[in-house]
Amino acid sequence: MLIFLNHLINGISLGSVYAIIALGYTMVYGIAKMLNFAHGDVIMVGAYICFFSVSSFQLPPAVGVLLAVIACTALGIVIERLAYKPLRQATSLAVLITAIGVSYFLQNGAQLLWTSNIKMFPSFFSSEPIALFGGELKITIAAIVTVLACVVIMLGLTWFTGQTKMGKAMRACSEDKGAAQLMGINVNATISMTFAIGSALAAIAGVLFCSVYPTLTPTTGSMPGIKAFTAAVFGGIGSIPGALLGGVLLGIIEIFAGAYISTQMSNAIVFAVLIVVLLVRPTGLLGKQIREKV
Amino acid sequence: MKRIRLSKTNRINFATYGGVILAYAVLQFLNGGGMLSSTIRGQLVPICAYVTMALSLNLTVGVLGELSLGHAGFMSVGAFAGAVAAAALPITSDPLRLAASMVIAALAAAITGTLVGIPVLRLNGDYLAIVTLAFGQIIKSIVENLYIGIDDRGLHASFLENRIIFRDGGRMILNGAMGVNGIAKISSFTAGFVLVMLVLVVIFNLVDSRAGRAIMALRDNRIAAESVGIPVTKYKLMAFVISAAMAGAAGALFALGQNTITANKFDFNTSILILVFVVLGGQGNMWGSILAATFLTVLPETKAMRGLADYRMLVYAVVLILVMLATNNPTIQDFINTKFRKKKKKGGAVK
C-alpha cells in the first residue's frame, strides 16, 4: 500500500511537470491552431540557462530560474515573430514543418553552444525526503515543489484567462479570430503574448524536470515534449483544466506502468492508453465536441 | 503521321519515370568509372530507400490528405522483418533472397498498417497525426523488446526478455534493443532502382484509377465524397495499407544495406525527416518527393556541407525554415511573382 502511495506521489509529481509543459502546447494550439513542436526544445534551453547561471556564475537558484524564464519568454516571442507570424495564412502542415525546423535549430544550436556532453543539473532542493509513517513513505521536496508550482500556475492561468483583459482577448481569439479583430482586439499581440506565456512556463517546467531527472543534453526536451503534447491531446487540446488532468494522468500511468507492468514498455503503454482514449473520445477527456458543418 | 497526344498528367508521369531511369543510368555509369566518392557510393542504397519512403508517405499525405507522423514505424517493421527473413530464408541467390525478404517485409508492414489503420483512420486531422505518432513510438518499444533467434527447428521469438534456448548451431538474429548485427549486405543500387520504379508505377496507376479518384475525392471533401456513396474507411485503409507496404519494402532495402540496425534508427525524427521530404517536394507531387529526398540525403554528405562540419545540421534547419517561409508567406510570394512572373508569362505561353 505504501509502495503504491510512493508510486502515486512520483506519478503526480512527474505528471505536474507534464501538465506545465502541456499548458504551453494547449494555449498555443487553442489560439494559433498550430502544433508548436519547438516547445520541447524551449524547455531544454530554459534548463541550460538555469544550469549555467547557477553552476558557472554562482547565482542563487531563484535568480537562475528567473533568468531562464526571461530568456525563454524572449526566445518564444522571437521564434513566433520570425518563424510563425509570416505563416499566419499558410496551411497547418507548412506551419508544422516550420516548427520542426525551429526545433532542429534549437537542438543543434544548443549542441554547438553547449556541446552534447551530459551536464548534471544541480539539485536545488535538499535530497533528504520528508519521511512519513516511520520512514515508510518518502516524499521528496522536489515533488512537493513541483506539484505546488503546477497548482499555482494553473490557478494563476485560470484567473488570467478568466478575469484580465488580455486573457479575455485570448479566449476571444481562440473562439474566432476575425470577429475578435473586428471588436478591436490586437490579434497579433495576443498570439505573441500566448507564446510568451507558454515559453515562460516551459522554462519553469525545464528546471523542474531537470531537478527530477538531472541529466541535461541538447535533446533533453524532446521526449517530455512529445509526452506533454500527448498529455494535452489526452486531456482535450485547447482546454487548460484538460492539460492539468491529461498531464497528471499521463504521469501516473507512466510511473505505474513502469512499476507494475514493465519498465521497458512504459512508454508504449502510455501511448496505447492515449490511442484508446482518442478512439473513445476523439476530442480528449475535457475537449469541446465540435459539430461538423457541411 | 498522327502524333500521340498525352495528357498533362501522363507527360509528368513519363517525365518522372524517364528522370529516374536517367539518374540511375548516369549514376551507374559514374560508379562504373569509379567517379563517385565513397561517401556518395555508400549513400546510393539509403537514397533509394528514402526516396521510396518519401513516395509512400506522399501517398498518405498528398493523395489521401492525412498527416502521418509515424511512418518510420512501418519502415522499422519492414526493416526488421526483412533482416530476419534474409537471415532465415534458405535461398542462396542474393538477389532472390533480397526480393523475397522485401516481399515479406512489405507483407509484414501491410499487416501492421491494417492493424493500425482500422482504429486510426476513424479520426481526422491533427488527432490522426497524434495517433500515428503514438503508434510509431509503440512499434519502436515493441521492436526494442523483441528477441528472435533461429536454429535447426526454425525461428524462435520471445518478448520482453531473452528466453530463447537454442539447440546446437542456433543463433540470435534480433537481439532486443541491440538490434540486428552482422547483416549480410545484399541490397544493391539496382534493387533500389527497381523498387523506386515499382513504387512509382503503383502510385501513378493507383492515382489514375477509380480507387485513386475516390481517395482524392475523400481528401478534397470527405463529406461530399461520402454523400455520393464512396466508402470512406475502405478507401482510406486502402491508401494507408499500400503506403505502409511500400514503407516496409523500403525498410528491408535499407536494413539489408547496413551492417547493423537498431530500433533507434527508425524513431520520431526519421518520421519527421521523411515528412520534410514530402512537404518540401510538394504534397501529391511525386517527382518533387524524389528530388527532395535525394538532395536532402546527399546534402549533409557533400563537400560544401562537410566544410561547415559542426554547423551543417544548423544550416539544414535554417534552410528548412527559409524554404517554408519562402514558399508559404503571401508577401514573399507576391514579391517573387512581381519580380519573376513577367518572364514566366512570356515563357509560359506554351500552355
Q: Whole-angstrom distance between the N-terminal and C-terminal Cα of chain B?
A: 23
For CA atoms B69, B74, B77, B80, the dihedral sign is negative
Judged by DSSP in three states, B38 sits in: helix
**What integer is the mean pLDDT of B38-52?**
87
Domain ranges in chain B? Answer: 8-301
The pLDDT value recorded for residue B351 is: 34
**Could you read off the pLDDT of A181-230 as tens digits, one per residue?**
999 999 989 999 999 999 999 999 998 888 888 888 888 888 888 888 88
Report residue A111: phi and psi, to 5°: -65, -35
Cβ atoms of A124 and A61 within 8 Å: the answer is yes
Chain A hits for B60, CB-CB cut-off 8 Å, are none
* CB spacing of B328 vs A91 below 8 angstroms: yes
Distance CA B4, CA B11 (A): 11
The pLDDT value recorded for residue A127 is: 67
- Check pLDDT > 80 for residue A11: yes
The pLDDT value recorded for residue B305 is: 62
Q: How many helices and strands in chain B, by DSSP H and E?
A: 14, 3
Query: Which of B127, B128, B220 is the mutation pick for testing A, counting most A CBs within 10 A?
Result: B127
User: Per-residue confidence at B347, pLDDT binned at 50, 70, 90?
Assistant: very low
Cβ atoms of B48 and B257 within 8 Å: the answer is no
Cβ atoms of A79 and A105 within 8 Å: the answer is no
Residue type, A283: T
Whole-complex ipTM: 0.82
For CA atoms A61, A67, A68, A70, the dihedral sign is positive
Chain A hits for B76, CB-CB cut-off 8 Å, are none
Q: Which long-range contacts (CB under 8 A, 24 or more apart) does A139-147 make?
A: A139/A9, A140/A13, A142/A13, A142/A208, A142/A211, A142/A212, A143/A9, A143/A10, A143/A12, A143/A13, A143/A212, A145/A208, A145/A211, A146/A13, A146/A16, A146/A17, A146/A208, A146/A211, A146/A212, A147/A12, A147/A13, A147/A16
**What integer is the mean pLDDT of A171-189?**
89
Distance CA B87, CA B283 (A): 37
* CB spacing of A98 vs B123 below 8 angstroms: no
**Could you read off the pLDDT of A88-112 as tens digits, one per residue?**
888 777 888 888 889 989 988 898 8
Distance CA B289, CA B57 (A): 9
Percent of chain B with pLDDT over 70: 90
* CB spacing of B134 vs A101 below 8 angstroms: no
Region of B109 please: left (phi>0), alpha (psi -120 to 50) or beta: alpha
Residue B158: beta bridge partners?
A: B147
Q: What is the distance in angstroms between the Cα of A16 and the nearest Cα belonging to chain B? A: 21
| Side-chain-side CA neighbours of residue A250 (13 Å) | 38
Q: Which of B123, B275, B324 sits opposite A98 (nearest CB)?
A: B324
Average confidence score pLDDT of chain A: 86
Task: Give the residue on A whose Cα is nearest the Cα of B272.
Answer: A100
Query: Which of B71, B227, B314 is the mutation pick for testing A, counting most A CBs within 10 A?
Result: B314
Which residues in B205-221 are b (16+ Cβ under 10 Å) and which e? ebbeeebbebbbbbbee
The pLDDT value recorded for residue A221 is: 84
Q: How far is the CA of A22 from the CAs of A229, A268, B68, in angstroms? A: 6, 19, 21
Distance CA A208, CA A228 (A): 14
- Residue whose cell numbers read 528567473: A66
CA neighbor of B256 nearest in space, from B99, B57, B63, B39: B99
* CB spacing of A271 vs B138 below 8 angstroms: yes
CA neighbor of A33 nearest in space, from A84, A75, A79: A84
The pLDDT value recorded for residue B341 is: 59
Cβ atoms of B194 and B275 within 8 Å: the answer is no
**Could you read off the pLDDT of A220-273 as tens digits, one per residue?**
888 888 888 888 888 888 788 888 999 999 999 999 988 888 777 888 888 888
Chain A hits for B326, CB-CB cut-off 8 Å, are none
Q: What is the distance in angstroms between the Cα of B161 and the nearest Cα belonging to chain A? A: 10
